[in-house]
Homo-oligomer: A and B are copies of this chain.
Amino acid sequence: MRLSQSFIPTMRQDPGEAEVVSHRLMLRAGMIRKVAAGIYSYLPLGLRVLRKIETIVREEMNRAGAQELLLPILSPAELWKETDRWDFYGKELFRLQDRHERDFCLGPTHEEVVTDLFRREVRSYRQLPVTLYQIQTKFRDEIRPRFGIMRGREFIMKDAYSFDQDEEGAKRSYQGMYNAYCRIFTRMGLQFRPVEADTGLIGGISSHEFMVLANTGEELIVFAPDTQYAANVERAEIAPPAISEREAKKPLEKVATPNAKSVEEVCAFLDVSPCRLVKTLLYQTENDAMTAVLIRGDHQANEIKIQRYLGIHELTLATPEMISRFTTAPIGFVGPIGLPKVRILADHAVAALSNFIVGGNEPDMHLVHVNIDRDFTIDAIGDFRQAQAGDLSPRGGSPLQTARGIEVGHVFMLGTKYSEKMGATYLDAQGQTHPAIMGCYGIGVSRAAAAAIEQNHDEKGICWPMPIAPFHAQILPVTSSDEVRKTSDQIYTNLYQNGIEVLLDDREERGGVKFNDADLIGIPFHVIVGDKGLAQNTIEIKDRKTGEKFHVPREQVCEWITDIVKKRLESQP
């Protein structure tokens, strides 16, 4: 493509609206433009990247035996009411009525529609297993759309749904998609990690998230470097600490701690480490009861784990008013000793402590040398906190490390959640009816493009991995002599004939402008054609990512580029 005839409006200045690197670079490189909050147009350069991602996704879905279809964007309310998600989804669902006042939503996901299709068309176990997928625009009315296309309100997803006869088959389908996802992100040239994840709004039995690793990622993950274990921090299990010999119990003491409320303040005042302090967190649970959760001063509570342990869907940290109604202590001084009758849960790390410090249940007072059982009793010990670097992995191996990532894929074992509610059944060989066992599998196609940039950029711009780069090579004629122009055109034509995707910067711009735009757009190889080089019959080729420069004889340039591009494309599995 010739840049002079292309709609690639690059920007020299950083746009004010961009909060993250990928957003800023996609705007500056002329890949996207905002139409409304969280709603973007993909300009030609951005669309080329999306199409490359879609092609890789499609090839691997087909290879895994999934079949592509296309479900509608307009989704009738009746189907969503069958699964109660019409209400449950709340304001994230874009809703509308047609001219006859029938209710529809814009599909944020398609479990209902695909399960409806299944129950109409599939009768027999002979038609199973089946995995259906689509690449379709999705809608989610986010409270705070942000980060460009990373968290948009209209976005492109690949979603797949598997239907099986039994658990074993469902596990095979799940594993098939898991493997396909690994191939997809590998082929895209991305550093990623599948991690154990929570099942959230979609529900189901188990799930993995696929995280593109990037320091700017929104998600925190933990992993054991010497085992396969990795998990979203929300979900990561922590092995109980090995309890070493306990200290001798010292006598309980009450200590005045005037105005020292926070962990930092108390530790500073008493000159102890936060790991000696125990926080008493009061939660209101669904049935209006209170539960106290004891967490070590240097740890964070994990409410998803607490919810799962209690088997409830909502958990609210008690407000100061609720605390003062319930105890005699102001916030910061609540402790487990002398609380009104309440369920007390202790994190493993707390249960392993002796002679620790807790709030005194009266203003400006803490208790020291506290010991469980001697001074108060607890109802349960469990894993109630957030994992952090240095914790023990639940599957053995060395201590957990942390990394940041961007979720680009998610696979779920759904079980029969949807098939039972919607009557999506099949007849087995004996003529018995069973609900199909389902899985669902998503990839954020547009988000993956942004995640690739978060992982692959430098201060000058994007450094595309070859498999998803909008072009393979960019030709930069840096002067306007006839010789330079002619040579550039020849290289352009020859590369094009070799099947290489080339962008030719034939604009009447200074070399500096062209260099800056080329670094910004981030096509993997830059072919720099100038009079000085041509006088010596050489052409400079720059590797955008490493900055390495190669001086290649004029007549070898096309072969050189063709070889390296093909090698880079093939090095993916």
Contact = CB atoms under 8 A, between A and B. Distances in A.
Interface of A: 5-7, 9, 33, 35-36, 39-44, 46-47, 50, 65, 67-76, 91, 94-96, 98-99, 102, 104, 106, 113, 116-117, 120-121, 130, 132, 137, 139, 141, 143, 153-154
Contacts of A50: 70
Nearest to A95: B96
A491 to B, nearest CB: 21
Contact of A153 (B33, B40, B71, B74): B74
A47 B67 CA distance: 10
Contacts of A130: 7
Contacts of A154: 72-74
Nearest to A94: B96
B39 A68 contact: no
Contacts of A46: 69
Contacts of A42: 69-70
B67 A7 contact: yes
Contact of A67 (B44, B67, B113, B120): B44
Give 3 closest A-B pairs by Cβ, nearest first: A96-B96, A42-B70, A9-B121
A74 B139 contact: yes
Given A7-B130, A96-B94, A137-B137, A68 B41 contact: no
Given A7-B132, A95-B96, A71 B35 contact: yes
Contacts of A47: 68-70
A39 B113 CA distance: 12
A interface SS class: mixed
26 contacts: A7-B67, A7-B69, A7-B121, A9-B121, A33-B117, A33-B120, A35-B76, A35-B116, A36-B104, A39-B72, A39-B76, A41-B72, A42-B70, A44-B69, A47-B68, A47-B69, A47-B70, A50-B70, A74-B94, A94-B96, A94-B98, A96-B106, A98-B153, A99-B141, A99-B143, A106-B106
Contact of A137 (B36, B73, B113): B73
Contacts of A91: 99
A426 to B, nearest CB: 14
Given A9-B121, A67-B7, A35 B113 contact: yes
Copies of this chain, tallied across the complex:
2
A72 B43 CA distance: 11
Contact of A72 (B40, B102, B121): B40
Given A7-B130, A39-B74, A73-B139, 18 more contacts: A35-B71, A35-B75, A35-B113, A35-B116, A36-B76, A39-B72, A40-B72, A41-B71, A41-B113, A42-B69, A44-B67, A46-B69, A47-B70, A72-B154, A74-B106, A74-B139, A99-B141, A106-B106
A13 to B, nearest CB: 15
A76 B153 CA distance: 13
B67 A41 contact: no
Contacts of A65: 5
Contacts of A5: 65
Contacts of A70: 41-42, 47, 50
Nearest to A136: B137
A418 B70 CA distance: 33
A117 B41 contact: yes
A33 to B, nearest CB: 6
Nearest to A152: B72
A16 B76 CA distance: 21
Contacts of A6: 67
Contacts of A104: 36
Nearest to A7: B67
Nearest to A90: B99
A96 B97 CA distance: 8
Contact of A36 (B33, B69, B102, B120): B102
Contacts of A94: 74, 96, 98
Nearest to A51: B68
Contacts of A137: 73, 137
A89 to B, nearest CB: 12
Contacts of A74: 35-36, 39, 94, 106, 139, 153-154
Given A41-B69, A44-B67, A33 B99 contact: no
Nearest to A65: B5
A117 B132 CA distance: 36
Contacts of A44: 67-69
Q: Which of A6, A9, A36 has the most CB of B within 10 A?
A: A36
Contacts of A43: 69
A75 to B, nearest CB: 8
* Most chain B Cβ neighbours within 10 Å, of A41, A47, A76: A41
A311 to B, nearest CB: 31
A5 B130 CA distance: 8
Contacts of A99: 91, 141, 143
A63 to B, nearest CB: 13
Nearest to A105: B96
Contacts of A40: 72
A153 B97 CA distance: 13
